[in-house]
Chains A and B, each alone.
Chain A
Amino acid sequence: MKLESTAALVAIDRDGARALGLDGAGAWSDAPGVSAPLEVHLAVTARCAAGCKGCYLDARPDGAQPERATIERSLDALREAGVFTVAFGGGEPTTRDDIAELAQAARSRGLTPVLTTSGLGLSDARIERLSAFDQINVSYDGASKAYTDVRGFDGASAAERAIRRLAETGIRVGVNVVLTKQSFPELEATIARARDLGACEAQLLRYKPAGRAASIDYLASRLTSGQRRELGPTLRRLSGIFCEGGRFHLRIDCALTPFLSADEEIMSEPSRLARFGVFGCEAAASLAAITVDGLMAPCSFAPPTRLRARDLAAGYADDDDLGRWRSYVEAPAEPCASCPIRSVCKGGCKVVSAFLSETHGPDPECPRVESYGAHLS
């Protein structure tokens, strides 16, 4: 169930559904199947002039850009499949002149549209056209030096202006903070600055070896082993500083979830992760992506399948490539097999494991996997 004013997705049992006057009828007697993704990431352009050194899409100023009608057909498919949230990205989605119309197109289909932007070139006129989005996240890795370390140029002031102006316009705004070896030590200052500018949440993102980041430089930029083990305590400390009262939230992305396995307090009560809806690798399950070519992918970082977006409803459950990503958690290798948070984490980021170990296996940067490897050797 999707709550609009409270902004939450809530899973309830069948007795609860009946209490609300909802009856699953035949659907409840069928064997459990593959549900549609809750959230789909839709690349509405591959154009971007920013040139971030770690861009996962390898976006460029002359990148491909689908026609509006093509995107609207994808939105039709999302509605048909039963998707809740569509995240517009790319590329820089705000460079599209029809971005407001696309947001309205998503709304009119019952989807919740959200958007990620660098904030570069986001004039007041363009900001006015973004009011139909439920939330907009600005990429902001910190003040000048931290931003430059992550992206290769200093766009911090432009991002800060965008955060402030979006908030002043009344649009709910968050920030995406890419965690690297260089940006991690600045995290408290980064979040404090973002909150002061009007952000309502900070989403922390793991740096991933995809697109332009799939290079030897990844090894120099990724979090250190010590930083990965510090994530849980750091989140606890930052939550105490920034989140009391519930007006500001901290999020982590799916790829950071395995790092929580190093946190003794979290591992002592792993059911809390599921209770509060923390997701690990949901590629091809609760999450899917649509490329600028209109192909379905397990997630934005994974190679596309041959399934066309327009065939999402009919083909999502049966596509073999998507199924391979979805089924990993059913019979994973050790140490995932015996991990208390296996059902949530789902083995960590397969994009990282493919890059570092050329396997579709346990995330090699997971602290538990690291310890397991050290124990074996």
Chain B
Amino acid sequence: MSERPSIAEGQVRQVRLGHGANCSSIGSVVDTLFATATVGAAILAAVVAALGSEPVRVIRPNSRRDDTARKAKP
């Protein structure tokens, strides 16, 4: 996986960890709320690092049967 330019932590507005697997209501990880500032910063840093190499899928609203999956530019 090629590395992309990294982004600043300040450019991350929200992080929702995990996908959850409940079929009746939407869930949110909350233990991060109670973590120390150091742990919170580490989570953010890990996410920013992952953004540098993870596949990115672009969604175009209301596209008709258009498989829009693509990789971000390296």
A residues with CB within 8 A of B: 1-13, 15-16, 19-22, 27, 33, 35-36, 39, 41-43, 56, 76, 79-82, 84-85, 87-90, 93, 110, 112, 114-116, 133-137, 174, 176, 201, 203, 205-206, 208, 235-236, 239-240, 242-243, 246, 249-255, 257, 266, 272-279, 282, 286-287, 299-301, 313-314
Which of A137, A257, A313 is in CB contact (< 8 Å) with B21?
Answer: A137
Check A300 against B54 for contact (C-beta < 8 Å).
no
The reply on B62 being an interface residue by CB < 8 A is yes
* Residue contact B19 to A278, C-beta cutoff 8 Å: no
Q: Is the CB of A15 within 8 A of B21?
A: no
Q: Inside 8 A of A254's CB, which chain B residues have their CB? A: 25-28
Is B55 within 8 A of A277, CB to CB? no
**A116 in contact with B21 given A11-B13, A13-B13, A20-B72 (CB within 8 Å):** yes
A selection of 8 A-B contacts at a CB cut-off of 8 Å is A3-B51, A5-B54, A22-B73, A116-B23, A137-B20, A246-B39, A253-B22, A253-B28
* With A3-B51, A8-B17 as contacts: A16 and B8 at CB distance below 8 Å: yes
A205 contact from B5, B24, B57, Cβ within 8 A: B24
Interface members, chain B 5-37 (any A CB < 8 Å): 5-8, 11-35
Contact present for A8 and B23 (CB under 8 Å): no
Q: With A4-B54, A10-B51, A279-B16 given, can you name 4 additional A-B contacts, CB distance below 8 Å?
A: A3-B54, A93-B23, A208-B25, A277-B14
- CB of B13 within 8 A of CB of A8, answer no
